[in-house]
């Protein structure tokens, strides 16, 4: 007899450590019944005040996809979001889409590669790009939030149009690479004829933490990444910097997603001395502590000077330039992933880097931060921004509803 996803989860011994981590942050503000369900099944509820995949403790794997809309019909877009939400509800619960097809002459409703796997804390998050609000046939122009405009050209951009933009996005995160691949594959199949995939990115190894129960991970430079990130348990910070509480009603409880594909020049970095690497970031490589400190979570000594009279944290250090104090107190919620896509044949180097994802209540906060980093950051010697996109992520769908219902109804 084939194992069900729930039985397989229990037999693998994942019910305590992995599930507690996967549910804890996102379920702040959700009822105890949902929390208990997630604890027992390894599933993160799809329905709720906010979409899952934002405050959810960051999972280990990502499949992100951007789609171009191939219709001018709001009814067809609405039908797509209804179908996508139904499928997401089933997949995040660890169930197959639809029922087993009894007709051997018809394609099955679910492609099947996740059958028998645990839910792996799968979350599926949907967003809308700026361009759909300019399509006359959809009639959505009056509902576009003022904040949702295409990101301007930013310092250091070397963007590939084939890796940028999109009318709709799907962010699938889980602790199993096959589970996230299955999610995007099936949503793309469901959307065929209404949307076409524009670009996609697989990610491994989270590069931030969004829960106090998670350790700070390392990026491909070997540095601890996201030490100062917002944690989901900090409700005041989430309300102030992440969740939207003004503007069009359909965006209340939502957020704005910025995605940036950042190529890392690993070979150049690997030839740099340890001292240069640490000065570039402003932190010790192995402990993650600020330069001159011992503990990762010590405050950055931004006003301290060394015996030579120079700042302990260099003026061009990434940690200094990205710190809230240097940016008017503004913070963003990061959910990035490392990626590798083989070899850059023209250079004979690894095609690898950071797929940066950030959520914020106003994209202008990211633009201001990136403008500062793009001009002054010492890290620019080692990175290149090759992809970029912005999406409005509505609030969560209530039970029986679908994502974007208030926008498309």
Here the tokens at position 216 are 């700070």
CA atoms within 13 A on the CB side of 405: 16
- More reliable by pLDDT, 53 or 28: 53
- What CA–CA distance (Å, rounded) separates 205 from 223? 13
Percent of the chain with pLDDT over 90: 84
- Residue 102's pLDDT is 66
pLDDT for the residue 343: 87
pLDDT of residue 342: 87
Residues 84, 80: Cα–Cα separation, whole Å = 6
Q: What is the pLDDT of residue 38?
A: 46
CA atoms of 120 and 382, how far apart (whole Å): 34
pLDDT surpasses 70 at 11: no
pLDDT digits (tens, 9 = 90+) for 224-252: 999 999 999 999 999 999 999 999 999 99
Q: pLDDT value at position 32?
A: 38
| Residue with token string 């002459």 | 105
Q: Going by DSSP bridges, is the β-strand pair 255-264/337-344 parallel, antiparallel, or unpaired?
A: unpaired
pLDDT of residue 6: 31
Mean pLDDT of 263-289: 97
Residue 397 has pLDDT above 90, yes or no: yes
- pLDDT number for residue 164: 98
pLDDT at 42: 86
Q: Confidence class of residue 104 from pLDDT cuts 50, 70 and 90? A: confident
Q: What is the mean pLDDT of residues 255-277?
A: 97
The answer to whether 401 touches 85, Cβ cutoff 8 Å, is yes
| pLDDT recorded at residue 268 | 95
Q: Phi and psi dihedrals of 230, rounded to 5?
A: -65, 140
Stretch among 19-23, 90-94, 133-137, 142-146 having the lowest mean pLDDT: 19-23
| pLDDT value of position 63 | 98
Residue 169 phi/psi, 5-degree rounding, is -135, 155
What's 56's DSSP letter? Answer: S
**Residue 84's closest CA among 243, 201, 194, 202?**
194
Q: Is the pLDDT of residue 8 over 70?
A: no
Digit-coded pLDDT (tens) for 132-173: 999 999 999 999 999 999 999 999 899 999 999 999 999 999
The pLDDT tens digits of the residues spanning 173-204 come to 999 999 999 999 999 999 999 999 999 999 99
Residue 118 clears pLDDT 70, i.e. is over it = yes
Can you tell me the distance from the alpha carbon of 363 to that of 390, in angstroms, rounded to the nearest whole number?
A: 8
23-37, 82-96, 152-166, 341-355: least confident range: 23-37
Average per-residue pLDDT for the chain: 89
Write the CB contacts of 164 (distance below 8 Å, at least 6 apart in sequence).
199, 387, 388, 389
pLDDT band at 349 (very low <50, low <70, confident <90, very high): confident
Answer yes or no: is pLDDT of 39 > 70: no
Strands (E), 70-207: 123-128, 168-174, 195-206
| CA dihedral of residues 202, 208, 210, 211 (deg, nearest 10) | 120
E strand residue ranges, 109-183: 123-128, 168-174
CA 394, CA 251: separation in Å to the nearest integer? 5
Which has more pLDDT, 76 or 108? 76
For residue 3, the model assigns a pLDDT of 34
- Picking from 193, 160, 177, the residue whose alpha carbon sits closest to that of residue 67 is 193
pLDDT, greater one: 274 or 34: 274
pLDDT, residue 346, reads: 77
User: pLDDT at residue 19 above 70?
Assistant: no
- CA distance linking residue 193 with residue 69, whole number of Å: 9
pTM: 0.89
What pLDDT was estimated at residue 98?
A: 83
Which pLDDT score, from 0 to 100, does residue 338 have? 98
């Amino acid at each position: 007899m084939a194992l069900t996803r729930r039985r397989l989860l229990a037999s693998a011994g994942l019910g305590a450590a992995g599930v507690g981590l996967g549910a804890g942050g996102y379920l702040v503000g959700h009822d105890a019944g949902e929390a208990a369900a997630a604890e027992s099944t390894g599933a993160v509820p799809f329905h709720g005040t906010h979409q899952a995949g934002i405050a959810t403790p960051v999972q280990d794997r990502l499949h992100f996809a951007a789609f171009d809309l191939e219709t001018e019909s709001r009814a067809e877009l609405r039908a797509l979001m209804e179908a996508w939400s139904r499928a997401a509800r089933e997949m995040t619960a660890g169930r197959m889409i639809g029922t087993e097809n009894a007709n051997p002459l018809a394609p099955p409703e679910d492609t099947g590669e996740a059958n028998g796997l645990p839910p792996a804390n799968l979350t599926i998050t949907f967003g809308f790009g700026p361009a759909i609000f300019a399509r006359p046939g959809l009639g959505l122009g009056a509902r576009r939030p003022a904040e949702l405009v295409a990101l301007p050209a930013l310092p250091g951009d070397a963007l590939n149009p084939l890796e940028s933009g999109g009318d709709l996005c799907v962010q699938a995160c889980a602790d199993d690479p096959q589970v996230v691949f299955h999610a995007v594959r099936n949503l793309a199949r469901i959307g065929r004829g209404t949307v076409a995939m524009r670009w996609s990115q697989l990610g491994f190894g989270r590069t931030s933490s969004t829960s106090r129960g998670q350790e700070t991970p390392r990026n491909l430079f070997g540095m601890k990444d996201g030490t100062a990130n917002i944690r989901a348990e900090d409700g005041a910070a989430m309300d102030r910097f992440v969740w939207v509480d003004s503007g069009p009603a359909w965006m209340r409880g939502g957020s704005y997603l910025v995605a940036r594909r950042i190529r890392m020049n690993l070979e150049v970095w690997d030839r740099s001395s340890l001292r240069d690497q640490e000065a570039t970031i402003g932190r010790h490589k192995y402990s993650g502590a600020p330069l001159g400190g011992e503990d990762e979570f010590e405050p950055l000594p931004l006003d301290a000077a060394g015996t030579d009279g120079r700042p302990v944290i260099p003026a061009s250090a990434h940690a200094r330039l990205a710190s809230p104090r240097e940016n008017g107190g503004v913070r963003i919620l990061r959910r990035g992933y490392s990626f590798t896509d083989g070899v850059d044949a023209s250079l004979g180097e690894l095609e690898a880097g950071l797929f940066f994802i950030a959520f914020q209540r106003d994209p202008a906060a990211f633009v201001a931060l990136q403008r500062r980093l793009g001009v002054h950051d010492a890290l620019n010697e080692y990175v290149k921004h090759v992809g970029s996109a912005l999406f409005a992520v509505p609030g969560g769908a209530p039970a029986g509803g679908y994502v974007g219902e208030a926008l498309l109804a």
